[in-house]
Amino acid sequence: MIARAARLSVARRHLSARYLSTRAERVLAAVNLPTDGGEIAGVYDGSWKGSGPAQVSKCPATGEVLAHVRTGTVKETEETIRKTKEAGKAIRAMPAPKRGEVIRQMREALASKVGELGDLVSLEMGKIKSEGKGEVQEAVDICDYATGLSRSMAGRVLPSERPNHVIYEIPNPLGVVGILTAFNFPVAVHVRDFATNMAIAMAAGNACLWKPAPSTPLCAIAVTKLLTPILEKNGLPGAAMSLVCGDVDVGKSIVASRDVDLLSFTGSEKVGQIVAVEVQKRSGKVLLELGGNNAAIVDKDADLDLALQAVLFAAVGTAGQRCTTTRRLFLHKSIASKFLSRLLPLYDSDKLPVGDPLNPKTLIGPMHSQGGVTSYMKTLEGIKSRGGQVLTKRSGPIDNVTGFKEGSGGNWVWPTVVRLKADDPSWKEETFAPILQVAEFDTLEEAIELNNSVPQGLSSSLFTNSIRSMGQWLGPEGSDCGITNINVGTSGAEIGAAFGGNKSTGWGRESGGDAWHQYVRWSAATVNYSDKMPLAQGVDFGFGSS
């Protein structure tokens, strides 16, 4: 009763005043989200509902409260899983190319809203306008890919050692794919992470259940509202793409459910490790996309202009909050001071405009949360206290960000570059913030060893013009990461190749390549079309038919 009264009072308070800025109102209205301050239902299982605690969506640039979202309870989550499982039967019964056609229609819907959804990503997550749009474009691209895949998800026909026998390897749908996503790609992971999972999972004949990060529910609700009518228009239940906004309790119940056939988790190493163990306890299937600690190596023969542009975007873009952000920079001794003498002034100049992520000129937006600011500060303080050195003139919180009518309740920090001791523990950890750590090396072998010396194994880049170095980097003695670029920065992957990281990044693969293999159950079928019953490996069981 008390909880209900409190909820009503919150709802009344929001209905009584128009508290959204024009800026936020424009963005929310463009994606058909309420702008009147009323609560938004955060659970979709064919109809919209939610009676769990309210979740607050805040604009990271200004601190403005954008909406209160009514999350799902554990009971509602379980009920949604049940409905998603039921919906999975309709999806798997539909021929794969027909599913592809449904995904094509979703692609059209997303493509028609790239700008609007991109702005919502900028408003709610904080990434700059072109990156917000880029994230939605990635979702469009993956739908294209999945549409094509729906006509080519091939099994195999293999030769049998027995006469008049044939072996098939057959992919079939799993059932329900649970998608737990991080805050930093709310559309792709949200929309990117979500879409990379959803589109491939659906092409493979599965229903999906999505739990977004607690701080970016609006992106998830907008995408679900845009796409689920397409399912229904095609005679499929809306619950085939269900949504439960919620926090850890909702996440835990999805992870624990035996009805979730594949659990695809994108997030931190810490939570990912817990999730992996929980899924293993029920002998379930898990796909992990966890933290990265990515390095760029600039060798003595590198094109420095090119390396400079790539490192700058990968280290500063998204305010250092991409899983593929460059966090470690290894410079050959012969070019180190030259490279830094060009990089550091850029960090300290107005060539990287700070401000409203919705302004197309802005290149540095806010951090997503105060928690992110705290970990940035803690890491910087730690490095300094252990004898490290901040190389940029600017570092720490940004006090005055101009251009907002709404005041400055946002989460702003200066991207910075630091030089730290070889044994500093910071080298081994992912601080999800714009701190670039620098060191020098003598030989490529040494640089590769540094690259590989951390627990994570997501993305890595070598800048070189030497074909020998390229071979070394890509071969067995080279980078141990899931992404091993050459003359391309660590962040900004395309969807065509399988995306994912090794080691404590979790070994998962999403998007292109053979990543779809993880969204199906494989069976091997030996078919005998002879009138004999021979046994494999020449085993004789005494009935004489071999």
Residue closer to ligand NAD by CB (options 94, 276) is 276
Which CA distances in Å does 389 have to 183, 372, 384, 437, 485? 30, 21, 6, 10, 29
What is the spatial order of strands in the sheet that 459-463 belongs to?
389-390, 416-419, 435-441, 326-332, 294-298, 459-463, 483-486
Residue 297 interacting with ligand NAD (CB under 6 A): no
Q: In this complex, which beta carbon is closest to ligand NAD, that of residue 54 or of residue 230?
A: 54
Q: Please state the closest distance from residue 329 (CB atom) to ligand NAD, in A.
A: 18
For 82-101, give one letter per residue: b (16+ CB within 10 A) or e.
ebbbbbbeebbebebeebbe
Instruction: Give the DSSP H or E segment for 121.
Output: helix 114-124
**Computed from CA positions of residues 382, 385, 391, 394, in that sequence, does the dihedral angle turn out positive or negative?**
positive
Residue 289 appears among annotated catalytic residues: yes
Q: Which is nearer to ligand NAD, 472 or 504 (CB)?
A: 504
CB of 473 to ligand NAD, least distance (A): 21
Among 210-218, 329-337, 400-408, 441-449, the segment contacting ligand NAD (CB under 6 A): 210-218
Restricting to residues 124-153, name those near ligand NAD by CB under 6 A. Answer: none
- Contact predicate 174/202, CB 8 Å: no
Locate 122 and state its tokens. Answer: 């900028």
Q: Taking CB under 6 A as the rule, does residue 39 contact ligand NAD?
A: no
Give residue 109's region: left, alpha or beta (phi > 0; psi -120 to 50): alpha
One residue of 50, 132, 186, 214 binding ligand NAD per CB under 6 A: 214
Q: Which of residues 156-175 bind ligand NAD (CB under 6 A)?
A: none
Q: What single DSSP character describes residue 186?
A: B
Smallest gap from residue 464 Cβ to ligand NAD (A)? 25
Encode 250-281 in three state secondary structure: HHHHHHHCCCCCEEEEECCHHHHHHHHHHHHH
Taking CB under 6 A as the binding criterion, the range among 208-216, 299-307, 413-421, 520-528 that sits at the site for ligand NAD is: 208-216
From the list 288, 65, 327, the residue with the least C-alpha distance to 181 is 288
Could you tell me the smallest distance in angstroms from the CB atom of residue 433 to ligand NAD? 11
Full 3-state SS string of 323-356: CCCEEEEEEECCCHHHHHHHHHHHHCCCCCCECC
Residue from 73, 122, 184, 264 binding ligand NAD (CB under 6 A):
184
Could you tell me which stretch among 44-52, 129-137, 154-162, 289-297 binds ligand NAD (CB under 6 A)?
289-297
Q: Tokens for 173, please give them.
A: 């749908």
Interface pick for ligand NAD out of 211, 327, 328, 509 (rule CB under 6 A): 211
Minimum CB distance to ligand NAD, residue 270 (Å): 7
Q: How far is the CB of 362 from ligand NAD (least distance, A)?
A: 22
248 binds ligand NAD (CB under 6 A): yes
Q: Which is nearer to ligand NAD, 80 or 105 (CB)?
A: 80
Residue 368 — φ and ψ, nearest 5°? -70, -35
**What six digits make up the tokens of 469?**
């170095």
CB of 82 to ligand NAD, least distance (A): 19
Interface of this chain with ligand NAD, residues 227 to 246, rule: CB under 6 A:
none
Could you give the string, one character per residue 424-453, with x where binding to ligand NAD holds by CB under 6 A and - elsewhere?
------x-x---------------------
| Active-site entry in 39, 289, 429, 510 | 289
Q: Give kind and range of the element (H or E) at residue 462.
A: strand 459-463
- Contact status: 274 vs ligand NAD (CB under 6 A): yes
The residues annotated as belonging to the active site are: 289
Q: Which residues bind ligand NAD (CB under 6 A)?
A: 180-185, 189, 211, 213-214, 247-248, 251-252, 255, 266-268, 271, 274-275, 289-292, 323, 430, 432, 458, 501, 505
